[in-house]
Structure 1
């Protein structure tokens, strides 16, 4: 058996022994998880989620994370991106340089100041800024709204979160900083991209290999914040 992510699959599928106890949707999700090479690799390497490989790939290509930076992670649970960022910027309990927020609780991560709170609440901005204690070098957002099953509604919700994250980034980033956020292909992203192009030197779409091929997920990366 091989877990080489470049092949896009495992040679032998993991069989579901409890299929009779699950709905069809649950069976499909579990089958995908069990047979996903990135899920297996994440477990083997100690990452909290397969999403860690998305940030690793993006950072390897665009060199976003550097030692000594200050980073904000929006929608941090279960903590895969925090793990990657903490390792790459050198954030430690003695010198914590990452502030993270999510509705869900996460297990503590050394070098990460985590806040369990809804980012969309009016008070969240001020609390995050106080915890950050100054300007940030990067804002990461892997936030995604709970789906309703209605495509247009779901897309508007993810765009709304991205716009909130972008506005927060403009308020906390130091000149030269970067903003990375999750989006989904299609829909009304034009205004968001136009606004980011006004405030950042470069704006591009990025789809890392760790994003599932059948997913419309992609990331918007804005670098060179003008301040």
Structure 2
């Protein structure tokens, strides 16, 4: 490892057993200001700043007392929620193991398992004010397939949100380039008063991720809302 270039940029030499791709990834991590900031401020990942920046724009964390975090690992988003609200009930789920977070219930299981929604609802102990989803399907290298798999998770998360949110609640989910497709947007508009897309500054410019922010849950799922509720 060496330092060079302007601003003290860290350059990583390709070492024995390290591929060129892993060297580029390590160099990017070492030079990423959000990675350094996360380490300094005690967040587990730079993703925490994506949620902070989205909340600064849309204000969905204010007053949230019951929160579900889908795809919680490694825990940065739940850390943000906990710091914003010391008394909020937070329940997270991920297939990957996640280190404990104070007063956060973490379920290690697949959200797509049949038992997962009931487990999340039981642990939450009431209707949610906010459902967060940072889930993304494991990529297979085929763009269309990867997109469809991730959007399938987003659709499942939106359906779940319709079951557990209290009136006025919000749903925030990661989508891919181009945002949620038209059918999902139409569904969300029947469920919520406002539906927006955003790419926070902390999201890398070369990343295909965007976020959909749906606020003002109308108190009923899309299939019950009918066309009259569409914004």
Q: TM-score, normalised by structure 2?
A: 0.89
Change in 2 beyond 3 A, CA 1:188/1:130: closer
CA distance in 2, matches of 1:192, 1:11: 44
- Shift in Å at residue 11 of structure 1? 2.3
CA distance in 2, matches of 1:149, 1:27: 20
Residue matched to 2:57: 61
Contact 2:117 2:160 survives alignment (8 Å): yes
Instruction: Name the SS of the counterpart of 2:7 in structure 1.
Output: coil
Q: TM-score, normalised by structure 1?
A: 0.90
Contact 2:179 2:211 survives alignment (8 Å): no
- Shift in Å at residue 210 of structure 1? 0.1
Listed as ranges, the matches of 1:1-227 within 5 Å are 11-17=7-13, 19-67=15-63, 69-91=65-87, 97-186=89-178, 189-227=181-219
Instruction: Name the SS of the counterpart of 2:188 in structure 1.
Output: helix
CA distance in 2, matches of 1:135, 1:11: 49
Of the structure 1 ranges 78-87 and 59-68, higher mean CA displacement relative to structure 2 is found in 59-68
Instruction: Name the SS of the counterpart of 2:102 in structure 1.
Output: coil
* Backbone CA RMSD of aligned residues: 1.5
- Shift in Å at residue 187 of structure 1? 7.9
Change in 2 beyond 3 A, CA 1:68/1:156: closer
- Shift in Å at residue 67 of structure 1? 4.4
For residues 80-105 of structure 1, what are the alpha-carbon distances to aligned partners after superposition, in whole Å with 9 as ceiling and x for unaligned?
000001111223xxxx6000000111
- Shift in Å at residue 12 of structure 1? 2.5
- Shift in Å at residue 188 of structure 1? 6.9
Instruction: Return 5+ residue gaps in structure 2 as ranges.
Output: 1-5, 220-231
Residue matched to 2:229: none
Instruction: Name the SS of the counterpart of 1:11 in structure 2.
Output: helix
CA distance in 1, matches of 2:46, 2:40: 11
Runs (4+) of structure 1 exceeding 4 A deviation are none
Contact 1:207 1:218 survives alignment (8 Å): yes
Change in 2 beyond 3 A, CA 1:66/1:186: closer
CA distance in 2, matches of 1:187, 1:139: 18
Instruction: Name the SS of the counterpart of 1:48 in structure 2.
Output: coil
Of the structure 1 ranges 22-31 and 167-176, higher mean CA displacement relative to structure 2 is found in 22-31
Instruction: Name the SS of the counterpart of 1:21 in structure 2.
Output: coil
- Shift in Å at residue 66 of structure 1? 2.5
